[in-house]
Chains A and B, each alone.
Chain A
């Protein structure tokens, strides 16, 4: 894998070296955790990268390296990008956090943007989307679609972002269906179609008839389709090729407006290290079409919930909510603070199982 990245790095060097002879456009680098063709997370980031290119034309040049493992390799890829003259680098996975900070320290003139992390520096901004808002809609629909009352959830890594999603989906499923149970499987990967398919199959074998996924490929959708009567939701991207069934709706990440705005800031010299966490109201998270496989009244109430979130009238984590051990987390009417959510490392009351440490 490392040799592949080395080759990719050489590719960047060439791309940047040839680019340098032009009128010195602003160079924006992207580091991806999966292949651009994953149909999910990385695909959406790459769509946004293409939107940046289309928006700025010749004024901006973009480079990307795909399938970069989280770890030392990532640091090397970023260093390479910075050395070759990138002005702004987006690192698009949680696991790149420390690598981004380390590289940013050595290149104070290069701007870095790290997705879904929490460590910042003078030249490291962070950005994230409020996926849990979308998860609330999924839970709301899933709780009413399930007949076995068992919902399977494919988690990637036990980090706050993923745990928020599980909790949000769970409380909204319970709200509409008090008998619903969640079965969580941790895949320990963001992208591994074979493993994701296996995880989905295992959950289906154990009785789940709704599969929620926080991994990036469409393999769980295919597994659900093969099983025949299992509902799924598109993750990170619309995954519309599996609509109208098994995929009945989706969470779509739209990074393009943010990437364009941040690139513009670099060009204008107004870039500052910021902490952005946008959701449905700002359009960074959107909900894919709810198909006709969902009963009309469920669809209507789900759409009402989307509108309430968009209008800022409803926060998915509104008390009373207890932790898994029964202790009070949010009192009646209290709304979770962002700090609470960013550090969320516990299940809410009603979820079974433990979060691996």
Chain B
């Protein structure tokens, strides 16, 4: 065993990178759930975003347009879910699961001609001045732009939910949709927008995998990341900054486990794989389940 082989600076830096896809997907789902909708289709939206982003990057030749395409693809798929659950009042759990399965198949179909093609490399984008700070610089400020974007989105969501009128309306819709409706707010419109935002974020997260992390298109690329994102939202008890912590915890365990192995420490991998989920259950018990948005997963119709 040679723990000195692990460079803590590189470890923390790669932790931030590993956490980014699940962070993006989870922050989108957080907004969706705060609006009172449970969309279990995160995995499907992620992988659709992954393939849409990949196709857009290859055909349009631009990574920025690629990520835009990923967000659009994720949002469109989410809109399907939104129309089914909000307008046609289908069951949210069943529709969400169906969305995951549909998304996996759709992505495999769309990606048929793109297997084995390499995406252009997205260069790192060190923040001027800040990236020169010893220790903190390489950990925090020497990444590709999407890592910063993820953190910015978390900050923006936090600000939106806590300090804006629109955020208040969204929370009201999520806590008690009948009351929000009685006050004259458009419950369905708010929810559809939230669902599309969630889809766009999940799409970005998926594209981060296919364009930066892996970076290529293969079927089954997301390999369950969407489900981890769902767990993180619960772990974070629906709060943005805790979600950031949760994403780093979940992402960090993967990186740490591989690092410990490479350094020759015989860790029972199963323990480390369990750890974040145990933490989720612990948080759930300690926080009490009552913190979930009041109208979560309940169907809304103005006539009731």
Contact = CB atoms under 8 A, between A and B. Distances in A.
Contact of A218 (B14, B216, B261): B216
B102 to A, nearest CB: 10
Interface residues of B, number: 44
Contacts of B220: 34-35, 67, 191-193
B9 to A, nearest CB: 10
Nearest to A197: B214
A3 B97 CA distance: 10
B219 A67 contact: yes
Contact of B218 (A195, A199, A217, A354): A217
Interface in A192-226: 192-195, 197-199, 201-203, 205-207, 217-219, 222, 225-226
A183 B214 contact: no
A185 interface: yes
Contact of B223 (A7, A37, A195, A353): A195
B116 A195 contact: no
A212 B146 CA distance: 29
Contacts of B258: 185, 198-199, 202
**Do most interface residues of chain A lie in helix, strand or loop, or is the interface mixed?**
mixed
B214 A356 contact: no
Interface in B267-282: 268-269
Contacts of B222: 194
A206 B6 contact: yes
B213 A194 contact: yes
A222 B216 contact: yes
Task: Count chain B CB atoms within 10 A of each CB in A183, A192, A193, A197 and give the residue with the most.
Answer: A193
Contacts of B14: 198, 201-202, 205
B116 A241 contact: yes
B121 A226 contact: yes
A188 B134 CA distance: 36
B108 interface: yes
A189 B221 CA distance: 13
B254 A195 contact: yes
A37 B219 contact: yes
B214 A222 contact: yes
A222 B259 contact: no
A192 B213 CA distance: 12
A184 interface: yes
A205 B219 contact: no
A352 B104 CA distance: 40
Interface in B79-137: 97, 101, 104-105, 108, 111-112, 115-118, 121
A166 to B, nearest CB: 13
B266 A35 contact: no
B262 A198 contact: no
B259 A202 contact: yes
A35 B218 contact: yes
B143 to A, nearest CB: 13
Contacts of A189: 223
A255 to B, nearest CB: 20
A134 interface: no
Contact of A202 (B97, B255, B268): B255
Nearest to B111: A37
A279 interface: no
A198 B18 contact: yes
B108 A35 contact: yes
Contacts of B209: 193-194
B262 A202 contact: yes
Contact of A207 (B5, B215, B225): B5
Nearest to B225: A194
Interface in A216-241: 217-219, 222, 225-226, 241
B266 A356 contact: yes
Interface string B192-232: 00000000000000000100011110111111010000000
6 contacts: A186-B261, A194-B209, A201-B14, A202-B259, A203-B262, A206-B263
Interface of B: 1, 5-7, 10-11, 14, 18, 21, 97, 101, 104-105, 108, 111-112, 115-118, 121, 209, 213-216, 218-223, 225, 254-255, 258-259, 261-264, 266, 268-269
Interface of A: 3-4, 7, 34-35, 37-39, 66-67, 152, 183-186, 188-189, 191-195, 197-199, 201-203, 205-207, 217-219, 222, 225-226, 241, 352-354, 356
